[in-house]
Structure formats: structure tokens, C-alpha cells
Amino acid sequence: MRLDRLLATRTALSRTRLKALVLDGAVTVGARTIRDPGHRVNAGDAIAVDVPPPEPADPLGENIPLKVVFEDDAMIVIDKPAGLVVHPAAGHPTGTLVNALIAHCGESLSGIGGVKRPGIVHRLDKDTTGLLVVAKTDPAHQALAAQFADHGRTGMLKRGYLAFVWGAPDRPKGTIEAPIARHPKSRDKMAVRAGGRLAITHWQVLERFGKTSGKPVASLIECRLATGRTHQIRVHLAHIGHPLLGDATYGTGFKTKAGQLPPAAREALSGLGRQALHAYLLAVQHPISGELLEFRSELPVDLARLHRSMDRD
């Protein structure tokens, strides 16, 4: 019998909930974690289901420090640190940017994003640092969301990222246009796949670091987004053979290259514990006044240390 069907007959949980638990790795058969709801089970198999405690219906305000770059009655711009999840989700019911914003803004956040994503117009990965704008009213949310949906094609929106990558492209700049979809075997990853959603990243090499066999060991690249897919920069740069330093999800095959870095850079990379990606530029049209607002963020301490420790080409 299929695993999900058997569990549905032995528990009070719905098939949909059980399928989600299986896909999240919360079900074991014997000593093995099974992520396939259609896995065939046999008589005598020992099956365990780890059901997480229920999450609160509404996120609560939490006293989490925020670095506020700009704030008025319509919007707030945050310089997000590494390790801060943007909104509550499976595995992160509390301790998120939303929890911090509820405490900071009170009831002034836009409700369009729903109870778990109030005011959220766009996101940054948990371990990506940098600039992020949040709406404080529903009209502001609608105006900002329209800008992000347009991706700057006809408006003033700009999003710029600094990425430290392995190696260096053989051209000074270029564009990656490759569709992105959920990875076929790993639910927490994305991948370039035929039939995926359109994804476009413009890139430019800013610096090259060191040389081994005549080729740069690493480089600093600026990326500008023309679309906004999950993990887009990380997936695209890995796709062209230049994954981010420190990226445990998309750059695992490049760990041995750390030995080619100078000692100080190896130490900085070892202490990084995250992908080397920073959202340094954000330009938006103010949702009420229409004024162009442009914000820049310096490299955070960990990436600045990595940058200083690199041998320049």
C-alpha cells in the first residue's frame, strides 16, 4: 500500500497534511526518512510520523532589533542581517522579520499579504543580507507590489546585489536568461528547468581575485534582477559555473577550491557560514508621492572581511 494512504487510515490527519509531512522529511519507515508519498510499505514496517506542534494563527510582535534605513507613514526600508527569515513559515514560526515589524510598527502594517506576511512585498533568503522594503498601508502595498511585478521594465525599480563567486566569467558582463522551477528531486532547492518560470539576471564583473593556472580563483559580481524567482541569483550563477562562495545548497562541488584562496580569505570564508550575497541597492518610486528613492547598503562585516582578505588579480 502507498505510504500516504496507509497513514490516512491510521491517523486523524488529512491526506494533504500527511503528504506535506512526508515531503518535509517528517516520516520514517524503519530507520530511513521517506520523502515519497507513494512509497510502498510492507507488512511489519515500523512507521513514525513527527508532527510539529501547531503554529499560532497570527504572528506576534517580538523585540528583535532592526536596522531601519528609511521609514514614513507608507513604507519602511530595512537593512536585513544574515540569519533573519522574512516571514513565518514551516520551521520558522517565530523570530522572523514579520515578528520584528509587528513590534516596531504596531498595527500600521498592510494586511494585503495575509496574516503571516503583512506588508511583505518581496523577500530575501534567510542568509542573504541587505535592503528590503515593506508596505505599511494597503495603498502603499498595492503600489509597491505593482513595481515589483513590473521588475523595472517600465518604472524606476532597481535591485542590485553583490555576489562573491568561484572563478570568473570570461566576459566582463552578460545576461542569464534561463527558466527556473522547483528541483525535481530536492523540494528545498530550485533548478534551471525547461518549462520553468522566466528568469533573467544581468551581471557584471567588478573584481577578480587571485589566479591559479592563469584563471581567477574567485570574483566579485554585481547582479541586477529583471525577474524575481526564488534563489534566482544563486541558481543562475551556479548554472553558468560560478556558484556563490559559501553556498551550501548550490555550490557544494566547489568546497575544495577554498584551498586556492590566501589564508586570510580561507579563514574569512570558513567563518562566513552562508552564501556570499548582499542586496546593496534598492531604488523604488515612493508609493504615495511618486518620488524616486534610492538606498545603498555597505557590505556587512563578514563580507567586508572576506573582500579585504582576497588577493587582487
Give percent of the chain with pLDDT exceeding 90. Answer: 58
* Alpha-carbon gap, residue 254 to 261, rounded angstroms: 12
The CATH code that applies to domain 59-150 is: 3.30.2350.10
Least confident of 9-18, 132-141, 151-160, 253-262: 9-18
Residue range(s) in the chain whose domain bears CATH number 3.10.290.10:
3-49
**Phi/psi class of residue 201: alpha, beta or left (left: φ > 0; alpha: ψ in -120 to 50)?**
beta
- The pLDDT of residue 160: 97
pLDDT band at 113 (very low <50, low <70, confident <90, very high): low
Give percent of the chain with pLDDT exceeding 70. Answer: 94
Count of Cβ atoms closer than 10 Å to residue 187 Cβ: 11
Average pLDDT for 224-249: 96
**Among the four given CATH numbers 3.10.290.10, 3.20.20.70, 3.40.50.620, 3.40.50.2000, the one describing domain 3-49:** 3.10.290.10
Q: Residue 54 pLDDT more than 70?
A: no
pTM of structure = 0.79
Residue range(s) in the chain whose domain bears CATH number 3.30.2350.10:
59-150, 151-313
The number of angstroms, rounded, from the C-alpha of 157 to the middle of its chain's C-alpha atoms is 19
- Per-residue pLDDT of 178-227, as tens digits, reads 999 999 888 789 999 999 999 999 999 999 998 766 789 999 999 999 99
Average pLDDT for 49-70: 80
* Alpha-carbon gap, residue 262 to 140, rounded angstroms: 47
Residues known to be catalytic: 125
- The pLDDT of residue 111: 66
Q: Residue 74 pLDDT more than 60?
A: yes
The CATH code that applies to domain 151-313 is: 3.30.2350.10
Least confident of 12-21, 23-32, 234-243, 302-311: 12-21
- CB distance 224 to 159 below 8 Å: yes
CA-angle at 180, arms to 244 and 272, nearest 5°: 20
Q: Residue 163 pLDDT more than 80?
A: yes
- The pLDDT of residue 18: 79
Least confident of 51-55, 250-254, 284-288: 51-55
**Which three cell numbers mark 3?**
505510504
